[in-house]
Amino acid sequence: MGTISLNLDNVSKSFASADTNNITHALSDITLRVKDGEFLSIVGPSGCGKSTILRLVAGLIVPTTGSLTLNGEAIREPDPKRGMVFQKPTLFPWLTVEQNVAFSLRMLKKEENGAVDRLIQMIGLSEFRHAYPHQLSGGMAQRVALIRTMINEPDVFLLDEPLGALDAFTRMNMQDELINMWNEKKQIVMMVTHDVDEAIYMGTRILVMAPRPGRVVDDIPIEMDYPRNRTSRQFLTYRKKIMEMLDFGRAE
């Protein structure tokens, strides 16, 4: 595995609203170094710019100031190297499961070498390969969205609350599934979540953020082996620490 390095240098992002002259400072002066094998969980109250970081790394938006680079190359626009999974599955409703998964290969004019079948089998949806998205449950659809991005074997996997809309059981299954996927390829994963437990359960490192302006208040490495025990003393210590930090962020 070659080395992957994602760098954010003094990145700020502000938004101007269309009608009034209000400027919102979504992110202020973020500097971040992430390398392969890291699973970065990002937590924080809403409005702290968690999703903005992902969208910047994805290249869907450009920074107001500062720079982002992946392996030394500046990030300017979306690239399949930086795959993103959204909170909603955003499957293309007019394509079947199979066609959705193959979408990226078609766009990039890459050859299909059995990866579509393999991935669909991996998530246990072989029987649904010809189904349309509206025939899938939320969990199934999100799994399809995941492998649709995975098919490009991205260096950076951006997950914007991908499990937020799922029920507790599906969610726990998917958490393990994601950890497995990352264990296999050891790429960079950046995952935004509202759920502190999820952040600790999955991440090698947790970024705690605060709003107005969006900024990083702490960067906590999680030193626990996988699979992690959600009720171990160590887990709960991390949990307490982060919860207190988030309370502090809200009180401000």
Binding site for other proteins (CB under 8 A): 58-60, 77-80, 82-84, 86, 88, 90, 92-96, 103-104, 106-108, 123-125, 127, 132-135, 145, 148-149, 152, 173, 176-177, 179-180, 227
Q: Nearest distance from residue 24's CB to other proteins, in Å?
A: 19
Tokens read off for 73:
């190359």
Q: Nearest distance from residue 217's CB to other proteins, in Å?
A: 28
Q: Nearest distance from residue 65's CB to other proteins, in Å?
A: 23
Q: Nearest distance from residue 103's CB to other proteins, in Å?
A: 6
d(CA 27, CA 25) in angstroms, rounded, equals 6
Q: Nearest distance from residue 211's CB to other proteins, in Å?
A: 23
Encoded amino acid at 230, one letter: R
CA nearest 160: which of 83, 105, 61?
83
Residue 236 half-sphere exposure, CB side, CA atoms within 13 Å? 3
Q: Is the dihedral of CA 53, 58, 62, 66 positive or negative?
A: positive
Q: What angle do CA 238, 175, 46 make, to 5 degrees?
A: 60
Residue 225: strand, helix, or coil: coil
Indicate the residue among 13 and 148 with the shorter CB distance to other proteins.
148
Residue 42 has φ and ψ, to the nearest 5°, of -115, 120
Indicate the residue among 80 and 213 with the shorter CB distance to other proteins.
80
Q: Is the dihedral of CA 176, 178, 182, 184 positive or negative?
A: positive
d(CA 10, CA 20) in angstroms, rounded, equals 27
Indicate the residue among 68 and 84 with the shorter CB distance to other proteins.
84
Residue 148: strand, helix, or coil: helix
Q: Nearest distance from residue 251's CB to other proteins, in Å?
A: 34
H/E element, 23: strand 23-35
Indicate the residue among 123 and 210 with the shorter CB distance to other proteins.
123
Q: Give the C-alpha distances (Å, rounded to integers) separating 51 from 4, 193, 214.
A: 22, 9, 11
Q: Nearest distance from residue 219's CB to other proteins, in Å?
A: 26
